[in-house]
Amino acid sequence: MPKDDIRVRDKDDSSAEAMKSASSQSKAAPEPEAAPPESAGKRGRPTQRRRAGPGRPEGVSNVRDEILDAAEIEFANLGYAGTSLRNVAEAAQVTQALINYYFGSKYGLFEEVFLRRGRQIADDRMQRLEELRRSGKPPAVADIVRAFLMPALSMRSTAAGRTFMRLQARLHTEPPEISYKLRNEAYETSTRLFTETLRDALPHLSEKDVYWRMTLMIGAYLYAFSDTHRLEEMAPGIVNPDDPEEILKAITSFVTAGMLAPAP
Partner DNA sequence: ATACTAATTAAACAGCCGGCCGATTAATTG
Partner DNA sequence: CAATTAATCGGCCGGCTGTTTAATTAGTAT
Residues that bind DNA (CB under 7 A): 1-11, 18, 21-22, 25, 27-28, 32, 43-44, 52-61, 63-64, 83-87, 94-98, 100-101, 104-107
Cβ contacts of 87 within 8 Å, gap of 6 or more: 74
For the window 229-248, what string marks contact with its own copies as x by the rule CB under 8 A?
A: xxx-xxx--xx------x--
- Give the shortest CB-49-to-its own copies separation in angstroms: 34
Cβ contacts of 213 within 8 Å, gap of 6 or more: 198, 205, 258, 259
Cα–Cα distance between 87 and 121 in angstroms, integer? 28
236 binds, among its own copies, DNA, none (CB under 5 to 8 A by kind): none
| 195 is an interface residue for its own copies by CB under 8 A | yes
- Give the shortest CB-193-to-DNA separation in angstroms: 34
- Give the shortest CB-155-to-its own copies separation in angstroms: 17
63 binds, among DNA, its own copies, none (CB under 5 to 8 A by kind): DNA
- The terminus-to-terminus CA distance of the chain in angstroms comes to 57
Helix (H, G, I), strand (E, B) or coil at 223: helix
Q: How far is CA 101 from the centre of its chain?
A: 23
* Nearer to its own copies (CB atom), residue 68 or residue 169: 169
Cβ contacts of 180 within 8 Å, gap of 6 or more: none
CB contact at 8 A, 74 and 91: yes
Among 81, 91, 126, 150, binds its own copies (CB under 8 A): 81
CB contact at 8 A, 122 and 184: no
Among 150, 222, 242, 244, binds its own copies (CB under 8 A): 222
* Nearer to DNA (CB atom), residue 5 or residue 233: 5
